[in-house]
Protein backbone atom coordinates (compact mmCIF):
# COMPACT_ATOMS: atom_id res chain seq x y z
CA UNK A 1 0.00 0.00 0.00
CA UNK A 2 1.44 3.35 -0.98
CA UNK A 3 0.84 6.25 1.38
CA UNK A 4 0.66 9.52 -0.55
CA UNK A 5 -0.67 12.04 1.95
CA UNK A 6 1.03 14.13 4.59
CA UNK A 7 0.13 16.53 7.30
CA UNK A 8 2.31 18.53 9.64
CA UNK A 9 -0.11 18.14 12.57
CA UNK A 10 0.54 15.22 14.92
CA UNK A 11 -2.39 12.82 15.14
CA UNK A 12 -2.89 9.56 16.97
CA UNK A 13 -0.34 6.93 16.09
CA UNK A 14 -1.04 4.49 13.27
CA UNK A 15 0.51 1.20 12.25
CA UNK A 16 2.35 1.23 8.92
CA UNK A 17 2.98 -1.79 6.72
CA UNK A 18 4.67 -1.09 3.39
CA UNK A 19 6.05 -3.30 0.66
CA UNK A 20 9.39 -2.73 -1.07
CA UNK A 21 9.58 0.70 -2.72
CA UNK A 22 6.38 1.89 -1.04
CA UNK A 23 5.91 5.01 1.03
CA UNK A 24 5.32 8.70 0.45
CA UNK A 25 7.71 9.83 -2.28
CA UNK A 26 9.00 13.36 -1.88
CA UNK A 27 8.99 14.98 -5.35
CA UNK A 28 12.34 16.06 -6.81
CA UNK A 29 14.28 13.95 -4.27
CA UNK A 30 15.13 10.27 -3.83
CA UNK A 31 13.42 10.27 -0.44
CA UNK A 32 10.65 7.78 0.33
CA UNK A 33 9.04 8.52 3.70
CA UNK A 34 8.19 5.25 5.45
CA UNK A 35 6.76 6.66 8.71
CA UNK A 36 6.36 10.26 9.80
CA UNK A 37 4.85 12.55 12.41
CA UNK A 38 1.27 11.55 11.68
CA UNK A 39 2.10 7.87 12.17
CA UNK A 40 4.31 8.22 15.24
CA UNK A 41 2.63 11.09 17.07
CA UNK A 42 5.77 13.15 16.46
CA UNK A 43 8.19 10.63 17.95
CA UNK A 44 10.15 9.77 14.79
CA UNK A 45 10.49 9.91 11.03
CA UNK A 46 11.84 6.99 8.98
CA UNK A 47 12.85 7.40 5.37
CA UNK A 48 14.75 5.62 2.63
CA UNK A 49 17.02 7.57 0.30
CA UNK A 50 19.23 6.56 -2.61
CA UNK A 51 22.32 8.66 -3.22
CA UNK A 52 23.72 8.59 -6.74
CA UNK A 53 27.36 7.62 -7.32
CA UNK A 54 29.97 10.32 -6.67
CA UNK A 55 27.34 12.53 -5.01
CA UNK A 56 27.42 14.70 -1.88
CA UNK A 57 24.81 14.59 0.81
CA UNK A 58 23.83 17.61 2.90
CA UNK A 59 26.25 20.24 4.14
CA UNK A 60 27.78 19.36 7.50
CA UNK A 61 25.10 19.98 10.10
CA UNK A 62 24.10 19.57 13.72
CA UNK A 63 20.68 18.47 14.92
CA UNK A 64 20.61 20.16 18.32
CA UNK A 65 17.56 18.25 19.56
CA UNK A 66 17.33 15.16 17.34
CA UNK A 67 19.15 11.85 17.16
CA UNK A 68 19.74 10.24 13.76
CA UNK A 69 20.48 6.63 12.85
CA UNK A 70 21.40 5.23 9.43
CA UNK A 71 21.35 1.66 8.15
CA UNK A 72 23.07 1.16 4.79
CA UNK A 73 20.89 -1.09 2.63
CA UNK A 74 22.99 -1.10 -0.56
CA UNK A 75 26.22 0.39 -1.83
CA UNK A 76 28.66 2.24 0.39
CA UNK A 77 28.38 5.59 2.13
CA UNK A 78 31.06 7.72 3.74
CA UNK A 79 30.13 9.58 6.93
CA UNK A 80 32.03 12.41 8.50
CA UNK A 81 31.18 12.57 12.19
CA UNK A 82 32.86 15.16 14.39
CA UNK A 83 35.63 15.52 11.80
CA UNK A 84 36.35 11.79 11.51
CA UNK A 85 35.56 9.84 8.31
CA UNK A 86 33.92 6.42 8.43
CA UNK A 87 33.28 4.22 5.37
CA UNK A 88 30.01 2.32 5.78
CA UNK A 89 29.32 -0.53 3.32
CA UNK A 90 25.92 -2.24 3.01
CA UNK A 91 24.87 -3.73 6.33
CA UNK A 92 26.56 -0.97 8.36
CA UNK A 93 24.80 0.98 11.09
CA UNK A 94 25.66 4.56 12.05
CA UNK A 95 24.21 6.47 15.00
CA UNK A 96 24.70 10.23 15.38
CA UNK A 97 23.46 11.65 18.67
CA UNK A 98 22.06 15.16 18.93
CA UNK A 99 24.64 17.93 19.00
CA UNK A 100 27.23 16.13 16.83
CA UNK A 101 28.43 17.68 13.55
CA UNK A 102 28.00 15.25 10.65
CA UNK A 103 27.47 14.78 6.93
CA UNK A 104 27.61 11.92 4.44
CA UNK A 105 28.25 11.22 0.77
CA UNK A 106 28.52 8.44 -1.79
CA UNK A 107 32.13 8.32 -3.03
CA UNK A 108 31.53 5.03 -4.87
CA UNK A 109 30.65 4.19 -8.44
CA UNK A 110 27.30 2.54 -7.59
CA UNK A 111 24.15 4.06 -6.05
CA UNK A 112 23.90 3.74 -2.27
CA UNK A 113 20.64 3.36 -0.35
CA UNK A 114 20.17 4.09 3.32
CA UNK A 115 17.30 3.77 5.76
CA UNK A 116 17.34 6.66 8.20
CA UNK A 117 15.53 7.11 11.50
CA UNK A 118 15.42 10.53 13.12
CA UNK A 119 13.80 11.28 16.43
CA UNK A 120 11.80 13.36 17.02
CA UNK A 121 9.98 13.78 13.72
CA UNK A 122 10.01 16.96 11.64
CA UNK A 123 12.67 16.30 9.02
CA UNK A 124 9.93 15.35 6.56
CA UNK A 125 8.92 19.04 6.46
CA UNK A 126 12.45 19.94 5.36
CA UNK A 127 12.37 17.31 2.59
CA UNK A 128 8.99 18.58 1.39
CA UNK A 129 10.35 22.13 1.23
CA UNK A 130 13.53 20.95 -0.53
CA UNK A 131 11.43 19.09 -3.12
CA UNK A 132 9.31 22.20 -3.71
CA UNK A 133 12.44 24.34 -4.06
CA UNK A 134 13.89 21.97 -6.67
CA UNK A 135 10.56 21.80 -8.53
CA UNK A 136 10.50 25.59 -8.79
CA UNK A 137 13.69 25.43 -10.87
CA UNK A 138 15.37 28.71 -10.06
CA UNK A 139 16.79 28.89 -6.57
CA UNK A 140 16.15 32.36 -5.22
CA UNK A 141 17.71 33.89 -2.09
CA UNK A 142 14.20 34.01 -0.61
CA UNK A 143 13.67 30.28 -1.18
CA UNK A 144 17.04 29.45 0.38
CA UNK A 145 16.23 31.67 3.36
CA UNK A 146 12.91 29.86 3.80
CA UNK A 147 14.71 26.49 3.71
CA UNK A 148 17.24 27.70 6.27
CA UNK A 149 14.40 29.00 8.47
CA UNK A 150 12.79 25.56 8.32
CA UNK A 151 16.10 24.02 9.38
CA UNK A 152 16.25 26.42 12.31
CA UNK A 153 12.65 25.55 13.21
CA UNK A 154 13.77 21.90 13.33
CA UNK A 155 16.73 22.93 15.53
CA UNK A 156 19.27 22.08 12.80
CA UNK A 157 22.32 24.23 12.08
CA UNK A 158 24.14 23.89 8.73
CA UNK A 159 27.85 24.65 8.52
CA UNK A 160 29.15 26.19 5.28
CA UNK A 161 31.15 23.84 3.07
CA UNK A 162 33.26 24.03 -0.09
CA UNK A 163 31.12 21.26 -1.55
CA UNK A 164 27.58 22.13 -2.74
CA UNK A 165 24.97 20.09 -0.87
CA UNK A 166 23.66 17.12 -2.84
CA UNK A 167 25.96 18.07 -5.73
CA UNK A 168 28.62 16.11 -7.61
CA UNK A 169 31.83 15.23 -5.78
CA UNK A 170 33.96 15.84 -8.87
What distance lies between CA 58 and its chain's CA centroid? 8
Does the pLDDT value for residue 65 go beyond 50? Answer: yes
What percentage of the chain reaches a pLDDT higher than 70?
92
Ramachandran bin of 91, using left for φ above 0, alpha for ψ from -120 to 50, beta for the remaining angles: left
* All domains of the chain in start order, with CATH: 24-158 (2.60.120.10)
pLDDT in tens, 11-52: 568 899 999 999 999 888 889 999 999 999 999 999 999 999
2, pLDDT greater than 60: no
- Give the per-residue pLDDT at 98: 97
State residue 1's pLDDT score: 43
What mean pLDDT is predicted for residues 146-162? 83
- According to the model, what pLDDT value does residue 14 have? 86
Least confident of 66-70, 113-117, 166-170: 166-170
φ and ψ at 113, to 5 degrees? Answer: -120, 135
Count the neighbouring beta carbons within 10 Å of the beta carbon of residue 20: 6
* DSSP strand pairing (112-119 vs 67-74): antiparallel
In sequence order, which residues have a C-beta less than 8 Å from that of residue 90 and are 6 or more positions away? 72, 73, 74, 75, 76
Contact status, residue 127 vs residue 34, Cβ threshold 8 Å = no
Give the orientation angle of helix 141-153 with respect to helix 123-135, to 10 degrees. 170
Amino acid sequence: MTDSTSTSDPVPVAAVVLGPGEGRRVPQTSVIIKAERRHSGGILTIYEATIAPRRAGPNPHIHRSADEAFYILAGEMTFQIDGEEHVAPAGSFVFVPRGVLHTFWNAGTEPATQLTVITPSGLEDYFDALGALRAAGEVTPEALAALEALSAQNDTVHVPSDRPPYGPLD
